[in-house]
Structure 1
């Protein structure tokens, strides 16, 4: 099952028989079997018929709304899980400094481990000494994070490791038409940051959906501070996936010349956005990456990255319920 992306402005999604059809005027833009769709993501101004919304909710399919440039707005989702006992354990852990710290350490070490792996690969394949040095800094941050006495300390070590990683990220970009001087988030002011920001938004949305499926409260996390309206738990869970999903896609698109500077536009304030063509290509690459299979180190079997979003969330549920002694972040090799 995959995500259906609707990017055409003024388009309409409707269910006809057992198929989902996107039209604009008399033109049929997309026609796919309902059974193959796990989520709908709409960019900008497109509509969904009322009867289709009802059918999607019956089938447990989310409808996520983003701005045309990819900023998250909100979602229509099925009835909340009835697993209240799981959420009770989630709330208990959130008010336990010990439990919160243990989970925060796991999320940080999982992310940093995958950052380090990505850099070590680059150091071996392209003989980049700068990446090797940054990987050593990340390794030190991992060791420190595992010994953190507070959640703030864990966040600090995560920041140190991320700074080392993004300090050499430009070395991973072989395409000389693109430059990267550091992470710029809101708003992104260059093509590389525009890709990273869009990718992280898509990833957060997918983890939000996984959290809903498992029955956890998306607004109560452990590493990310609680703020009104902030989906802290999906943000916690997505940390381990940032380098192996989004960063890998960005590097693939740039280093394989799939995207060129013509696929980006700049608006007032140097705000950089993908063109419609560039965005559609990036979405295809994102979906392909999600459907790629890998050998899960804990399950000892081949699964898709998309399935691993839910699996890692279920591991968290088992940890909260006491079925696992500690949360096993997904660490690639």
Structure 2
């Protein structure tokens, strides 16, 4: 079983990352701020425009299978440095054949989208149970109907329409899950590229973190993260990573957003608003979110398919392995992660 290792997030502008023995050293103006053993890391993510990395560290990360990703300050992926691609060519050829066969790709996509809707419904069921004075039953019932419709979708276009309608219903109920009425956290629907309010800024940031983890998981299992089953091919887009993360969005990211807001770990002053109307997290606020994300990934659950207790951080890797088994023909269908 793969071990859950740590991810090192670097958000401080102007620092230099270098190899120091068997550690990565973060250097600022000639002084080492901290050292982290390489054997404790599965990935390093830089979030900034002025963060440098030494060639020696690049080589060490490639040799050790540590993914080094470069993102902008808001978590948007820019580039990655990786070593030799793991896995065998036969698995990737099977993946490409599946992607080129609409029915085969649709069979996987149906399960992923049905799981996304079911897991979103799970979040609303919890809100409906924990908060008095609200009635989410109409939305919860509509999501149950959408699950059945998704599993019967005749093509990708129909499936996308069902997913879009379910997302609209889910986000229409999302404001009821916010436990206080601070006007800074009023949510009027999903907005992105750029986010237009504080809640969307938080969502976009944690979605970027999840996308990175799904991309790394797929590539560590030998799959091509760019070739999706529902998110079709587009240069620079990790289609399969976006497919895989669908089943985790609500239960991992949206619940984390709600926790940060409802516990007031994130406050109205933690955001900046640009002249364009875009809203982003401040640097110190991003650190709070990153810390909470890492703690969330350390929590353990019993995986319903493999029957083992694992950390939440391993979920993308386990699902990537299950997908690879299906593509190789070892199992008849892909089994998504359903939250209980």
Q: TM-score, normalised by structure 2?
A: 0.95
Secondary structure of 2:265's partner? coil
Mapped pair 1:276 → 2:280: no
Mapped pair 1:64 → 2:69: yes
Secondary structure of 1:98's partner? helix
Between stretches 222-231 and 259-268, larger displacement belongs to 222-231
Residue equivalent to 1:116: 121
Secondary structure of 1:168's partner? helix
Between stretches 213-222 and 124-133, larger displacement belongs to 124-133
Mapped pair 1:41 → 2:49: no
Residue equivalent to 2:170: 165
How far is the alpha carbon of 1:132 from its aligned partner? Answer: 2.4
Kindly report the root-mean-square deviation, in angstroms, between the aligned alpha carbons of the 2 structures. Answer: 1.2
Residue equivalent to 2:240: 233
Secondary structure of 1:268's partner? coil
Mapped pair 1:126 → 2:131: yes
Secondary structure of 2:78's partner? strand
Among 86, 90, 95, the alignment partner of 2:91 is 86
How far is the alpha carbon of 1:129 from its aligned partner? Answer: 4.1
Residue equivalent to 2:312: 305
Mapped pair 1:142 → 2:139: no
Q: Is the 8 A contact 1:107 1:223 kept in 2?
A: no
Aligned length: 333
How far is the alpha carbon of 1:81 from its aligned partner? Answer: 2.3
- Residues 187-226 of structure 1 deviation map (CA, whole Å, 9 limit, x = unaligned): 0011100010011111111111011101111111111122
- Residues 235-266 of structure 1 deviation map (CA, whole Å, 9 limit, x = unaligned): 00000111121111101100001011111110
Q: Is the 8 A contact 1:39 1:61 kept in 2?
A: yes
Q: TM-score, normalised by structure 1?
A: 0.97
Residue equivalent to 1:154: 159
Aligned equivalents of 1:27, 1:140: Cα separation in 2:
59
Secondary structure of 1:64's partner? strand
Aligned equivalents of 2:31, 2:268: Cα separation in 1:
30
Mapped pair 1:192 → 2:199: yes
Aligned equivalents of 1:188, 1:128: Cα separation in 2:
30
Q: Is the 8 A contact 1:204 1:234 kept in 2?
A: yes
Q: 1:67 to 1:27 in 2, by over 3 A?
A: same
- Unaligned regions of 5+ residues in structure 1, if any? none
Secondary structure of 2:266's partner? coil
How far is the alpha carbon of 1:128 from its aligned partner? Answer: 5.6
5 Å-filtered alignment, 1:228-267, equals 228-267=235-274
How far is the alpha carbon of 1:33 from its aligned partner? Answer: 1.5
Q: Is the 8 A contact 1:119 1:132 kept in 2?
A: no
Secondary structure of 1:180's partner? coil
Aligned equivalents of 1:231, 1:69: Cα separation in 2:
18
Aligned equivalents of 1:95, 1:130: Cα separation in 2:
44
Among 313, 317, 329, the alignment partner of 2:324 is 317
Q: 1:128 to 1:223 in 2, by over 3 A?
A: farther
Mapped pair 1:15 → 2:22: no
Q: Is the 8 A contact 2:134 2:176 kept in 1?
A: no
Aligned equivalents of 1:131, 1:65: Cα separation in 2:
40
